[in-house]
Protein backbone atom coordinates (compact mmCIF):
# COMPACT_ATOMS: atom_id res chain seq x y z
CA UNK A 1 0.00 0.00 0.00
CA UNK A 2 1.25 3.50 -0.82
CA UNK A 3 2.22 5.88 1.95
CA UNK A 4 -0.58 8.05 3.35
CA UNK A 5 -0.22 10.71 6.02
CA UNK A 6 -3.05 11.16 8.49
CA UNK A 7 -4.46 14.67 8.91
CA UNK A 8 -6.98 15.62 11.58
CA UNK A 9 -9.61 18.12 10.46
CA UNK A 10 -9.45 21.29 12.58
CA UNK A 11 -13.25 21.66 12.25
CA UNK A 12 -14.80 18.26 12.88
CA UNK A 13 -11.73 16.39 14.25
CA UNK A 14 -12.19 13.51 11.75
CA UNK A 15 -9.03 11.82 10.49
CA UNK A 16 -8.30 12.15 6.77
CA UNK A 17 -5.80 10.14 4.75
CA UNK A 18 -3.51 12.26 2.58
CA UNK A 19 -1.51 10.48 -0.17
CA UNK A 20 2.18 11.37 -0.52
CA UNK A 21 1.63 13.28 -3.76
CA UNK A 22 -0.81 15.65 -1.99
CA UNK A 23 1.10 16.36 1.25
CA UNK A 24 1.95 19.90 0.09
CA UNK A 25 -1.56 20.62 -1.22
CA UNK A 26 -4.50 22.34 0.42
CA UNK A 27 -7.28 19.79 0.69
CA UNK A 28 -10.81 19.33 1.98
CA UNK A 29 -12.03 17.17 4.83
CA UNK A 30 -13.84 14.09 3.55
CA UNK A 31 -16.47 14.51 6.24
CA UNK A 32 -17.27 18.23 6.69
CA UNK A 33 -15.47 19.66 3.61
CA UNK A 34 -13.49 22.15 5.75
CA UNK A 35 -10.09 23.27 4.46
CA UNK A 36 -7.12 21.04 5.31
CA UNK A 37 -3.82 22.90 5.28
CA UNK A 38 -0.68 21.48 3.66
CA UNK A 39 1.71 19.64 5.97
CA UNK A 40 3.57 22.26 8.00
CA UNK A 41 5.75 20.16 10.27
CA UNK A 42 8.51 17.63 9.74
CA UNK A 43 7.25 14.12 8.96
CA UNK A 44 9.07 11.27 10.71
CA UNK A 45 9.71 8.62 8.07
CA UNK A 46 11.02 5.06 7.92
CA UNK A 47 12.02 2.59 5.22
CA UNK A 48 8.40 2.11 4.15
CA UNK A 49 7.54 5.79 3.78
CA UNK A 50 10.70 7.66 2.71
CA UNK A 51 10.96 6.44 -0.89
CA UNK A 52 7.24 6.75 -1.73
CA UNK A 53 7.22 10.36 -0.54
CA UNK A 54 10.42 11.20 -2.43
CA UNK A 55 9.05 9.59 -5.60
CA UNK A 56 5.51 10.99 -5.44
CA UNK A 57 5.87 14.50 -4.00
CA UNK A 58 5.35 17.34 -6.45
CA UNK A 59 7.51 19.74 -4.41
CA UNK A 60 11.17 19.70 -3.28
CA UNK A 61 11.91 17.71 -0.13
CA UNK A 62 14.42 18.33 2.64
CA UNK A 63 15.39 15.18 4.56
CA UNK A 64 17.03 15.63 7.97
CA UNK A 65 19.06 12.60 9.09
CA UNK A 66 19.48 12.84 12.85
CA UNK A 67 19.66 10.85 16.12
CA UNK A 68 18.33 11.58 19.63
CA UNK A 69 21.83 11.40 21.17
CA UNK A 70 23.31 13.96 18.73
CA UNK A 71 23.70 17.42 20.28
CA UNK A 72 24.04 19.32 16.97
CA UNK A 73 20.97 17.44 15.65
CA UNK A 74 18.93 18.52 18.66
CA UNK A 75 20.18 22.10 18.25
CA UNK A 76 19.13 22.06 14.57
CA UNK A 77 15.67 20.59 15.31
CA UNK A 78 13.91 23.94 15.97
CA UNK A 79 15.34 25.30 12.71
CA UNK A 80 14.11 22.20 10.83
CA UNK A 81 10.64 22.70 12.35
CA UNK A 82 10.67 26.40 11.43
CA UNK A 83 11.58 25.73 7.80
CA UNK A 84 8.81 23.11 7.57
CA UNK A 85 6.29 25.69 8.77
CA UNK A 86 7.66 28.49 6.53
CA UNK A 87 7.75 26.29 3.42
CA UNK A 88 4.35 24.59 3.92
CA UNK A 89 2.69 24.13 0.55
CA UNK A 90 5.97 24.77 -1.29
CA UNK A 91 8.21 22.01 0.08
CA UNK A 92 8.18 19.05 2.47
CA UNK A 93 10.48 18.33 5.38
CA UNK A 94 11.15 14.75 6.44
CA UNK A 95 13.11 13.43 9.42
CA UNK A 96 14.97 10.11 9.56
CA UNK A 97 16.08 8.89 13.00
CA UNK A 98 19.31 7.11 12.04
CA UNK A 99 19.38 5.25 15.36
CA UNK A 100 16.01 3.63 14.61
CA UNK A 101 16.60 3.35 10.85
CA UNK A 102 20.31 2.73 10.22
CA UNK A 103 19.43 1.08 6.91
CA UNK A 104 18.42 4.49 5.53
CA UNK A 105 21.67 6.09 6.66
CA UNK A 106 23.50 3.22 4.96
CA UNK A 107 21.41 3.57 1.79
CA UNK A 108 22.47 7.22 1.44
CA UNK A 109 26.03 6.56 2.71
CA UNK A 110 25.68 8.96 5.62
CA UNK A 111 28.76 8.99 7.83
CA UNK A 112 27.98 11.92 10.16
CA UNK A 113 24.90 13.72 11.41
CA UNK A 114 23.12 16.04 11.18
CA UNK A 115 23.03 15.44 7.46
CA UNK A 116 20.61 16.98 5.00
CA UNK A 117 19.55 15.79 1.57
CA UNK A 118 17.34 17.73 -0.81
CA UNK A 119 15.31 15.88 -3.44
CA UNK A 120 13.57 17.26 -6.51
CA UNK A 121 11.49 15.20 -8.91
CA UNK A 122 12.36 11.97 -7.11
CA UNK A 123 16.13 12.51 -7.45
CA UNK A 124 18.76 13.75 -5.05
CA UNK A 125 19.46 17.43 -5.79
CA UNK A 126 21.90 18.49 -3.05
CA UNK A 127 23.40 17.49 0.27
CA UNK A 128 24.95 19.16 3.30
CA UNK A 129 26.47 17.98 6.55
CA UNK A 130 26.44 19.76 9.89
CA UNK A 131 23.91 22.02 11.55
CA UNK A 132 22.33 24.74 9.44
CA UNK A 133 19.90 27.55 10.14
CA UNK A 134 16.43 27.84 8.63
CA UNK A 135 17.53 30.48 6.12
CA UNK A 136 20.14 28.14 4.66
CA UNK A 137 17.68 25.23 4.53
CA UNK A 138 15.13 27.50 2.86
CA UNK A 139 17.73 28.51 0.25
CA UNK A 140 18.45 24.82 -0.50
CA UNK A 141 14.75 24.22 -1.12
CA UNK A 142 14.36 27.33 -3.26
CA UNK A 143 17.37 26.32 -5.36
CA UNK A 144 15.64 22.95 -5.85
CA UNK A 145 12.60 24.71 -7.24
CA UNK A 146 10.40 25.59 -4.24
CA UNK A 147 8.35 28.69 -4.95
CA UNK A 148 9.55 31.84 -3.25
CA UNK A 149 6.86 33.73 -1.34
Task: Name the nearest CA neighbour of 131 among 71, 44, 60, 83.
Answer: 71
Residues 126 and 74 reside in one and the same domain: yes
Position 4 scores a pLDDT of 67
29 is catalytic: no
Residues 68 and 32 reside in one and the same domain: no
Position 3 scores a pLDDT of 67
pTM over 0.75: yes
Position 120 scores a pLDDT of 96
Position 1 scores a pLDDT of 45
Active-site residue, from 12, 29, 32, 70: 70
Residues 130 and 111 reside in one and the same domain: yes
Position 148 scores a pLDDT of 82
Q: Is residue 148 a part of any domain in this protein?
A: no
Cα–Cα dist 141/131, whole Å? 16
Active-site residue, from 12, 29, 32, 73: 73
Residues 30 and 50 reside in one and the same domain: no
73 is catalytic: yes
Spans in the chain with pLDDT lower than 50: 1
Cα–Cα dist 54/36, whole Å? 22
Cα angle at 122 between 116 and 123, to 5 degrees?
A: 60
Residues 124 and 78 reside in one and the same domain: yes
Q: How many domains does the chain have?
A: 2
Task: Give the CATH number for residue 97.
Answer: 3.40.30.10
Position 100 scores a pLDDT of 97
Amino acid sequence: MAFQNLSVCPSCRKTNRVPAKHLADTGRCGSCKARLAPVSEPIAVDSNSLLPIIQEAAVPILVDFWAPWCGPCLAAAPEVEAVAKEMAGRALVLKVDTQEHPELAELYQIQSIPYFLVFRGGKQFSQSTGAADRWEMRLWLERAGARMD
